[in-house]
Amino acid sequence: MAKVDVIMPQMGESIAEGTLTKWLKQVGENVERDEDLFEISTDKVDADIPSPASGTLAEVLVEEGATVEVNTVVARIETEAGATDAASSTEEASAGAAEESRAETEEAAATQSDAAPEPAPAAVGGSDAGAPSSAPPVEPGSKEERLRTRSTPLVRKIAEEHGVDISAIQGTGVSGRVTRDDITAFIEAREKAEISAEATPAPGGAAPETVSAPTGGAPAPAPAQPGHMQVPIHGATLDIRIPAVPIRDGDRVEEMNRVRLRTMEHMLMSKRISAHVTSVNEIDFERVVKLRRNLKGKFAEQGVKLTYGPFIMKAVTEALQEYPILNSSVDGTRIVYHNDINIGIAVAVNDGKELIVPVLKNADRLSLMGLAAGANELAEKARTKTLDFDDIQGGTFTITNVGVFGNLFGTPIVNQPQVAILGTGVIEKRPVVIQDAMGNDALGIRHMSYFGLSYDHRVVDGAMAAFFLNKLKDVLENFPEDAV
């Protein structure tokens, strides 16, 4: 009887853990391939996870409310319906596989973070015979209690760093779960109370001591703390030494949360793998500005907000079709040219403190209206933490809009395993030299923008990047009416 492992998926590049909030199927029930099997919650995404195969849900290894590392086996599906009992030898083999899977997960987690991984909860339902002896006992309490006290991995990390008991906070999330905003507000309120207490003069007029510093001159810097981090690259682990930083009196020290750590690892990995180069082009947006002004009302009537983004995406898809090397990936010494054009759209969330990249699939097959509606929907789902598992998978090219923050242009880091990323700068009026119909030069005011294209020089040469940017420039400056 063949069994298929169901794993905790990685919902984004910087996600290391997920909380299994609800099983949608029970042990013994049939499930179809791609049918929703369980619900998860992470620091960035809440999603329903589909079944990887058709069959019977034979084992549930992680119960509701538990938080586990990505790639942890959470259940097993028998591919033949009704086969819920197995021979003793099969149970032992399955137990050994589970133990090996946990060991691999713990080893991978150890290379990614100094924090020790949490063991997966014991199996729910079925016999305990053959279960690994290292399996921890099931956590006591109801599902609601576990959801409330466990919260998300990021919230637990913040609580641990600041010595906060999560159960003491009134949560505003699902089942009373403490959210990041809840714990941040709690810590800020506590710090303000402490500062206020320190500022109150002590009895007898003596001022309270707030900083311990050596006497006789300027405070001596605290000893530097050098460290190391491991970055996974093509199946291997690269050890990177982190330079020591002196900590002086008055400095504030804050541990990186799990999301920031994973982002750091991903960015360092990309810089180590890809030979980064950035080329910049200046684009006249005057035609697009006028088209958008004329079309905003028509789009609004259909409930769609029209920004400059869809025009840019339309130009990107045309350029990618003409220069497919920009829509590829590197697999060892092979170049994989992707058939689909799936545009990743970088969206800043949590007041710009974090970034997530939902993916607009088959963007080359969408009209301007389709691009606008699709991009708006993904951006809203990212901000409200309602992205589906499929929404953040399969990107082949990424666009990040640094202009929304007023920047002229950016030199973004390639989003692996892609080979290029486009940074769009602010669109603003600038004086430029223009020519009239007679070829005479004149000074005019135009809406202009700088586009920065970062690319992997292993497969994309400067000339090809220039051709790609020139194609973007041509499409946007002469945006065709039939593309609308």
Residues tagged active-site: 457, 461
Number of helices (H) and strands (E), helices first, in the chain?
9, 21
- Its sign, for the CA torsion 15, 17, 19, 20, is positive
Angle between helices 309-322 and 368-383 (to 10 degrees): 110
Three-class HEC string of 35-65? CEEEEEECCCCEEEEECCCCEEEEEECCCCC
Q: Is 337 helix (H, G, I), strand (E, B) or coil?
A: strand
What CA–CA distance (Å, rounded) separates 61 from 136?
A: 11
Q: How many CA atoms lie within 13 A of 431 on its CB side?
A: 3
CA atoms of 116 and 16, how far apart (whole Å): 12
What would the two tokens of residue 176 be?
A: 């009373």
φ and ψ at residue 316, rounded to 5 degrees: -65, -45
Angle at 436 (CA atoms; ends 434, 441), nearest 5 degrees: 50
Q: Which of 312, 264, 342 is nearest to 422 (CA)?
A: 312
Tally of CB atoms within 10 A around 352:
9
Q: Which helix (H) or strand (E) holds 197?
A: helix 180-199
- Cβ partners under 8 Å of residue 217, min gap 6: none
Cβ atoms of residues 103 and 95 within 8 Å: no
Per-residue 3-state assignment (H helix, E strand, C coil) for 94-139? HHHHHHHHHHHHHHHHHHHCCCCCCCCCCCECCCCCCCCCCCCCCC
